[in-house]
């Protein structure tokens, strides 16, 4: 029996979200609870255990990487039992959870256990419908999530109307007041840089020239300043920590009216509870704007003058049509400076370039100019190569799985023999006592024989408890992930086109170096890569 632990936390604690720890404390606690349950149940002794995790994901829908991987493995019949802390960890949507518990999992022959709810599907042949308490509990989970979402939105709006800032981090130039965490106070050093940016812009310098000047003077960027103040938040558009000022970051400051002391909130809202992709911008008239909420860094007059100059030199903003789905959005990085590459268009088509070249005269980024059609060609070629390698790896993985099964059989046969010997010794101990009770042997002989049997039992118990766990066990735990990776790849040997879903699934990032050399970092699991490295020593990434 292959067990699958599923762990979910809807809002990861701060140190995990922002890079201080790999996962949240509550995830670790759920793992400990599930591990303890599995160890406590004798029927699960020696069973391979897989883990599927969603940290910081809402349970109101099933668009979660961890639960998708779990369900894919279930559909391929690669797991036999799913174990969760409680129903709400699996999901808070009453209809969908009930569908899986009452139809999908029973059809696939998969057992479902909710530890804290005391639910084991083997005791409920009709799913949660066979237990009214569990059915009501699932409904309450969904209603609770929706009610909580509305209460949080209402509380945020009330705080905003009072001029209180509840954002996790203040904007560059401000700090949270030690006396009142909902009040912002100027960060003297950074506030002076903000004033300098406005002054230099109004004196005639462009955002690019201002960025170059700040980089030359070694001024810490907003993200660097946050880290100096103790923030662990990662910069999502950069692969490194020592990022530079850019014209974009300068423009963002020049356009932010909050530097006049205004609190501006509720600029976007989610249309669907728990769906991070359902955010939409709210109309400007619906924003909550509170003047004089905190000490201004620049005056309203200076800010208005900067906006006037911006309007004069910039093209008017055209109404936006349907948003284009960009194939490599957020994936393409500069191999030299780590910044996300900018996508621009010329007559020949879309191309990627690094804005780091504008901030540094001697930057290696200056030579990067990669057309999207060429990048697509490289990625397609690389995926097809990975597909051919996956077919070869499948044969190797099958051999390894057979070897692990043979090892597993030998180990369990050895454990079976030791258990049989322990049973015989226990029976001999009882027989010796009965012979003594019938006065067939003397007390001295009874004590001698009992001591001999006890020593043998201790040796057998020690051997049994220290019998190695099967080496194949580690393969069994990782086999599902490796099979999933191979299954995803091997059908792509003749791939001729790309879509966003495929890029998201296969590629972590793409690094472009001087001379348009491309390096692809894949989303493959560590276990797959270890098997891959054994087969093709030294090949981990594909580049041109």
pLDDT, position 46: 78
Which of the listed ranges 289-303, 310-324, 450-464 does the model predict with the highest average pLDDT?
289-303
Identify whether the C-beta of residue 409 lies closer than 8 Å to the C-beta of residue 476.
no
pLDDT, position 292: 84
Q: Model confidence at 30, in pLDDT bands (50, 70, 90)?
A: confident
Exposed (0-12), middle (13-18) or buried (19+): which is 114, by Cβ within 10 Å? buried
Higher pLDDT, 299 or 246: 299
pLDDT, position 107: 77
Query: Does the pLDDT value for residue 411 go beyond 50?
Result: yes
Percent of the chain with pLDDT over 90: 11
Query: Does the pLDDT value for residue 233 go beyond 70?
Result: no
> Which uninterrupted H or E stretch holds 417?
helix 372-437
CA torsion angle 185 187 188 193 (round to 10): -130
Where do the H-state alpha helices sit in 438-538?
A: 443-465, 471-490, 500-506, 526-535
pLDDT, position 381: 92
Q: What is the pTM of this model?
A: 0.47
177 to 83, 166, 511: CA distances (angstroms)? 45, 12, 40
pLDDT, position 516: 85
The strand pairing partners of 369, in sequence order, are 353
Return all residues near 86 (Cβ < 8 A) that are at least 6 apart: 114, 115, 116, 117
pLDDT, position 94: 56
Query: Does the pLDDT value for residue 492 go beyond 60?
Result: yes
pLDDT, position 362: 52
Q: Model confidence at 474, in pLDDT bands (50, 70, 90)?
A: very low
Query: Does the pLDDT value for residue 337 go beyond 80?
Result: no
Query: Does the pLDDT value for residue 137 go beyond 60?
Result: no
pLDDT, position 245: 85
Q: What is the mean pLDDT of residues 337-345?
A: 83
> 256-276, pLDDT tens digit by residue?
988 998 888 766 665 554 445
Query: Does the pLDDT value for residue 247 go beyond 60?
Result: yes
Long-range residue pairs from 378-381, CB within 8 A, at least 24 positions apart, any chain: 378/518, 378/520, 378/544, 379/498, 379/503, 379/507, 379/510, 379/520, 380/495, 380/496, 380/497, 380/498, 381/544
Q: What is the mean pLDDT of residues 32-59?
A: 83
When mean pLDDT is compared across 253-262, 387-396, 507-516, the lowest value belongs to 387-396
Quote the CA–CA distance of 38 and 133 in Å, as a whole number. Answer: 24
Q: Model confidence at 129, in pLDDT bands (50, 70, 90)?
A: very low
84 to 33, 41, 233, 455: CA distances (angstroms)? 9, 15, 30, 42
Long-range residue pairs from 460-464, CB within 8 A, at least 24 positions apart, any chain: 460/418, 460/421, 460/422, 460/425, 461/422, 463/418, 464/415, 464/418, 464/419, 464/422
> 190-228, pLDDT tens digit by residue?
999 999 999 999 999 999 899 889 988 989 888 888 888
pLDDT, position 201: 92
Query: Does the pLDDT value for residue 376 go beyond 90?
Result: yes
pLDDT, position 239: 45
Higher pLDDT, 523 or 538: 523
Mean pLDDT of the chain: 76
Q: What is the mean pLDDT of residues 286-294?
A: 82
pLDDT, position 83: 92
Q: Model confidence at 130, in pLDDT bands (50, 70, 90)?
A: very low
Percent of the chain with pLDDT over 70: 70
Higher pLDDT, 232 or 179: 179
When mean pLDDT is compared across 5-14, 217-226, 228-237, the lowest value belongs to 228-237
Q: What is the mean pLDDT of residues 497-515?
A: 88
Query: Does the pLDDT value for residue 24 go beyond 90?
Result: no
Nearest C-alpha neighbor of 27 from the set 57, 6, 4, 7 = 7
pLDDT, position 379: 92
- In the chain, the N- to C-terminal Cα span, in Å, equals 45
> 352-367, pLDDT tens digit by residue?
988 765 555 556 677 7
Identify whether the C-beta of residue 288 lies closer than 8 Å to the C-beta of residue 157.
yes
Which of the listed ranges 70-79, 150-159, 309-318 does the model predict with the highest average pLDDT?
70-79
Where do the H-state alpha helices sit in 94-187?
A: 94-99, 105-108, 132-161
pLDDT, position 537: 46
Query: Does the pLDDT value for residue 477 go beyond 50?
Result: no
pLDDT, position 318: 47
When mean pLDDT is compared across 68-77, 412-421, 535-544, the lowest value belongs to 535-544
Query: Does the pLDDT value for residue 468 go beyond 60?
Result: no
The strand pairing partners of 5, in sequence order, are 51, 83
Exposed (0-12), middle (13-18) or buried (19+): which is 265, by Cβ within 10 Å? buried
Identify whether the C-beta of residue 247 lies closer than 8 Å to the C-beta of residue 221.
no
pLDDT, position 390: 82
């Amino acid at each position: 029996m292959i067990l699958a632990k599923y762990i979910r936390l809807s809002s990861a604690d701060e140190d995990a979200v922002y890079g201080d720890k790999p996962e949240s404390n509550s995830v670790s606690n759920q793992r400990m609870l599930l591990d303890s349950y599995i160890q406590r149940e004798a029927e699960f002794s020696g069973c391979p255990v897989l883990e599927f995790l969603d940290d910081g994901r809402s349970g109101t829908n099933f668009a979660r990487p961890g639960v998708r991987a779990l369900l894919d493995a279930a559909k391929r019949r690669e797991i036999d039992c799913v174990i969760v802390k409680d129903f709400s960890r699996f999901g808070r949507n009453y209809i969908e959870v009930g569908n899986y518990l009452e139809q999908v999992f029973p059809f696939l022959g998969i057992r479902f256990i909710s530890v804290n709810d005391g639910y084991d599907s083997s005791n409920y042949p009709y799913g949660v419908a066979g237990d009214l308490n569990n059915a009501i509990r699932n409904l309450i989970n969904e209603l609770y999530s929706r009610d909580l979402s509305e209460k949080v939105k209402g509380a945020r709006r009330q705080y905003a109307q009072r001029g209180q800032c509840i954002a996790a981090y203040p904007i560059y130039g401000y700090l949270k007041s030690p006396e009142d965490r909902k009040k912002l106070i100027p960060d003297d050093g950074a506030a002076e840089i903000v004033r300098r940016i406005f002054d230099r812009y109004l004196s005639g310098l462009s955002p690019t020239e201002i960025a170059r000047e700040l980089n030359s003077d070694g001024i810490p960027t907003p993200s660097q300043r946050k880290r100096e103040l103790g923030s662990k938040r990662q910069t999502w558009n950069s692969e490194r920590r020592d990022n530079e000022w850019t014209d974009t970051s300068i423009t963002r400051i020049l356009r932010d009216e909050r530097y006049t002391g205004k609190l501006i909130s509720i600029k976007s809202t989610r249309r669907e509870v728990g769906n991070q992709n359902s955010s939409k911008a709210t109309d400007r008239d619906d924003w909550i704007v509170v003047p004089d909420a905190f000490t201004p860094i620049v005056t309203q007059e200076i800010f208005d003058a900067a906006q006037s100059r911006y309007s004069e030199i910039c093209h008017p903003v055209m109404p936006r049509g349907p948003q284009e789905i960009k194939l490599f959005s957020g994936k393409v990085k500069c191999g030299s400076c780590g910044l996300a590459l900018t996508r621009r268009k010329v007559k020949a088509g879309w191309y990627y370039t690094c804005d780091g070249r504008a901030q540094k005269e001697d930057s290696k980024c200056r030579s990067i100019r990669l057309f999207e059609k060429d990048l697509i060609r490289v990625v397609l070629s690389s995926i097809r190569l990975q597909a051919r390698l996956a077919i070869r790896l499948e044969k190797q993985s099958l051999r390894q799985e057979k070897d692990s099964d043979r090892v597993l059989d030998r180990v369990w046969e050895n454990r079976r023999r030791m258990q049989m010997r322990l049973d015989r010794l226990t029976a001999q101990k009882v027989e010796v006592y009965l012979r003594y009770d019938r006065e067939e042997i003397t007390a001295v002989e009874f004590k001698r024989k009992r001591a001999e049997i006890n020593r043998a039992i201790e040796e057998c118990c020690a051997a049994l408890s220290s019998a190695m766990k099967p080496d194949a066990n580690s393969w069994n735990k990782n086999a599902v992930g490796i099979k999933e990776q191979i299954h995803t790849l091997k059908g792509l040997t003749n791939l001729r086109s790309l879509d966003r879903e495929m890029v998201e699934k296969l590629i972590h990032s793409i690094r472009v170096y001087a001379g348009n050399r491309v390096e692809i970092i894949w989303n493959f699991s560590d276990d797959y890569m270890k098997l891959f490295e054994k087969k093709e020593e030294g090949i981990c990434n594909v580049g041109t």
